[in-house]
Structure 1
Amino acid sequence: YATATPAAWSSVRVLLLHGDHSGGASAGTVAGESARRAGQARAGQGALARLAAESGASLQVVDTPAAAPMEDQPALTPEQVESALRYGWRLAEQAADAGVQLLVLAACGAGTEAAAAAVLAATAGAEPPAVLGRVITNSGEIDDAAWMIRCAAVRDALHRTRRSPRGAKDVLAELGGGDVAVATGVLLGATARRMPVLLDGPVGLAAGMVSRDLAGQARHWCLLADHGGHPAVRLAADVLGLTPLLDLRLDLGEGANALVALPLLRSVLSLAAALPVHPSLAGDGEPGQGTEEPEDTEPEDTEPDYTEPEPAGPGPATTGADEQPATGWRAG
């Protein structure tokens, strides 16, 4: 909530959005991997659940509608988009009513990076190859073939929608998918309740790009924990005017960097609330309290002492009131 003085967040909730994107967007991912990670989080296991427990944050896994292949057809129907936006808004409302002071957006679906790249291409004019990160397999190898398939899927989706409207809900329906739509609803609901949201990853930033067209002030309630080295996050952060707080690049999934940064942010807020105001930020003080009145001093006589110059030619230097030039003398 907005407060007059800084206060560390005592109640934090992590929203882990789980929704897969089918088609070429999910090339290079292991089937069922996202569902396994969501199940781990529900059971309190995995990196995200452990980080949430360490920081004292609650974790809520949110299932979102699966997205159709965007290169062939719209990812969602208009009805699904409206439902997802309302669902995300309700999630933010429920968190605010429960006393939550900060939301952390996380995601674990397959194909989220390609969907975010498509949203950025549609909203910011980005080139898909420039905002699609490399595909890293579970063994740590770079899968260039999967990266090319993802690029082709985004390219074909943009070609398919080249004459379609570019409204916020149109972008969500054609390209975004369920997780981006729910995340957009969360940002809108949090903005309405004046509750900050900590972003960390392509889904959250894609939602931020869409939400600015629905509520321009939404970006002012967003914080970016880390760009993670992801090109799509870098571009979206630049467009939204968000400065990454850290540069960790843990590569533990969307939301992990935010939870690692959370204790540091709490410490900063606690110090800001406890330390006195810096003199440079204080208002004008009363005379005798930090400011001194200048002493009255007599102005110095700075009038120059002029001397009359010597005459340039014959004749008297000055002519008095009753003196006349000699008879027969003519000037020059």
Structure 2
Amino acid sequence: MSSLNLDDFSDLIERPDSGTRRDAEERRERLTVPPGSLGRLDELGEWLAAAQGAVPVKALKQPRVVLFAGDHGVASLDVSGRPAGSAHRLVRAALEGESPVAVLARLADVPVRIVDAGLDCDPSLLPDEVVRHRVRRGSGRIDIEDALTATEAEMAVRLGMAIADEEADSGTDLVVLGDLSVGGTTAAATLIAALCGTDASVVTGRGGAGIDDLAWMRKCAAVRDALRRARPVLGDQLELLATVGGADLAAMTGFLLQSAVRRMPVILDGVVSAACALVGQRAAFRAPDWWLAGQLSGEPAQAKALDRMALNPLLDQGVTVGEGSGALLALPLVRAAAALAAELPEKAAEAAEEEPAEPVTTE
């Protein structure tokens, strides 16, 4: 019997400070730039102020990209554009600076942290700081077997919680969250279909690597079969992650929930992070208030999950590569919102500067 109950997070997570948000809104009314003229950047600045509990909002000084890596057994059904068990190649490319997320991270001057939760490779292929957290080697084939044991699912969630604590303790003030997985979108689609009560064909997309029509039909069948196994365990989020999730998805879910506990904002990337967020919302309804949807990836399951959580994506550039890339593209917008909210002058201050000093008279 697991000692971890995800429903307990509901009592631990509070909403961002509504009083601070009201103060931020009132300050926005006093700025020299007309209200509404900055569009959604106003809303972002107010959200950040509430998350930080500070008016004016503070600049983002230590954002970080955190990527959870894992392989999924369902990829052996040829439902992905990449070979089964090849997620370690994505990790290696990111480490060597040769992947989209690595290029964008360099451009934004943001460090990248990669956590191996369930890669299916020899640990010697990657640095120890990446592989030392691994819960198991690859996750089970969810159409016919559980992704994880109950013990492994708890270990994975606690791993994500520990990583969130490490980031919060080190001063990270915002996280760009993504995944490096093969087969992960199939597991994510299954989770979202189960939690939203929809059929496999409604949520099944073509993944970050892109697949042809035959592979899409195989993926639909895999999601359909996994859904049959997911529906009986919908009442227990931890069991759901063990049944049709995977080590990386369970770790991401733990990370998201603990980040909300620690009041650390997170930008979500694609369908995998959206699926984990949806599981997190099921456990703690206030948790999505700490998350931003970075981008719309084109995956139908992601759109359904974001709609369920009432999260409006910041960008829609057709980026399907995953790896946190789309969310990282949204980071400059969040930084810009913080800078504008913090640095634009107020009308009163401007008027005081322009008003001439009263003449001094002597009798």
Answer whether TM exceeds 0.5 for this pair: yes
Which ranges in structure 1 are unaligned for 5 or more consecutive residues? Answer: 280-332
In 2, Cα distance between the equivalents of 1:228 and 1:49? 18
Structure 1: which amino acid aligns with 2:66?
L
Q: 1:278 to 1:243 in 2, by over 3 A?
A: farther
In 1, Cα distance between the equivalents of 2:347 and 2:276? 37
Q: 1:257 to 1:165 in 2, by over 3 A?
A: closer
Q: 1:96 to 1:161 in 2, by over 3 A?
A: closer
1:52 aligned partner: 105
Q: Which structure shows the bigger proportion of residues in helix conformation?
A: 2
Q: 1:11 to 1:161 in 2, by over 3 A?
A: closer
Q: 1:165 Cα shift?
A: 4.6
* Matched position secondary structure for 2:82: coil
Establish whether residue 2 from structure 1 lines up as the match of residue 55 from structure 2. Answer: no
In 2, Cα distance between the equivalents of 1:164 and 1:136? 28
CA displacement 1:239-292 (0-9 Å, x = unmatched)? 00100111111233231111112112211210011224589xxxxxxxxxxxxx
Q: 1:44 Cα shift?
A: 2.8
Structure 2: which amino acid aligns with 1:42?
L
In 1, Cα distance between the equivalents of 2:295 and 2:245? 22
CA displacement 1:68-126 (0-9 Å, x = unmatched)? 00111111111011111110011111011111001111112111111111001111112
Q: 1:124 to 1:10 in 2, by over 3 A?
A: same
- Equivalent position to 2:253, from 155, 166, 184: 184
- Equivalent position to 2:174, from 102, 106, 114: 102
Q: What TM-score does the superposition give when structure 2 sets the normalisation length?
A: 0.72
Matched-pair contact (CA < 8 Å) for 1:89–1:185: yes
Q: 1:166 Cα shift?
A: 3.0
In 2, Cα distance between the equivalents of 1:261 and 1:108? 19
Q: 1:234 to 1:277 in 2, by over 3 A?
A: farther
2:74 aligned partner: 23
In 1, Cα distance between the equivalents of 2:347 and 2:278? 36
In 1, Cα distance between the equivalents of 2:207 and 2:170? 39
- Equivalent position to 2:88, from 12, 30, 35: 35
* Matched position secondary structure for 1:213: helix
Q: 1:43 to 1:122 in 2, by over 3 A?
A: same
* Matched position secondary structure for 2:304: helix
* Matched position secondary structure for 2:182: coil
Matched-pair contact (CA < 8 Å) for 1:200–1:225: yes
Q: 1:161 Cα shift?
A: 4.1
- Equivalent position to 2:217, from 127, 148, 151: 148
1:112 aligned partner: 184
- Equivalent position to 2:311, from 205, 226, 242: 242
In 1, Cα distance between the equivalents of 2:53 and 2:233? 43
Q: What CA RMSD, in Å, does the superposition of the two structures yield over aligned residues?
A: 1.9
CA displacement 1:292-311 (0-9 Å, x = unmatched)? xxxxxxxxxxxxxxxxxxxx
User: Which structure has the greater CA radius of gyration?
Assistant: 1
Which ranges in structure 2 are unaligned for 5 or more consecutive residues? Answer: 1-50, 119-137, 349-363
Bigger RCO (CA 8 Å, 6+ sep):
2
- Equivalent position to 2:161, from 89, 94, 106: 89
In 2, Cα distance between the equivalents of 1:69 and 1:153? 9
Structure 2: which amino acid aligns with 1:20?
D
Q: 1:53 to 1:134 in 2, by over 3 A?
A: same
Q: 1:278 to 1:178 in 2, by over 3 A?
A: farther
In 1, Cα distance between the equivalents of 2:347 and 2:261? 32
Percent identity reads 39
Q: 1:59 Cα shift?
A: 0.5
Matched-pair contact (CA < 8 Å) for 1:135–1:146: no
How many residues are treated as equivalent by the alignment? 276
In 2, Cα distance between the equivalents of 1:61 and 1:2? 26
Q: Which moved more, 1:243-252 or 1:110-119?
A: 243-252
In 2, Cα distance between the equivalents of 1:271 and 1:26? 48
* Matched position secondary structure for 2:289: helix
Q: 1:57 Cα shift?
A: 1.1
Q: 1:230 to 1:161 in 2, by over 3 A?
A: closer
In 2, Cα distance between the equivalents of 1:28 and 1:90? 30
Q: 1:277 to 1:236 in 2, by over 3 A?
A: farther
Q: 1:94 to 1:161 in 2, by over 3 A?
A: closer
Q: Which moved more, 1:11-20 or 1:164-173?
A: 164-173
Q: 1:143 Cα shift?
A: 0.9
In 2, Cα distance between the equivalents of 1:33 and 1:51? 22
Q: What TM-score does the superposition give when structure 1 sets the normalisation length?
A: 0.78
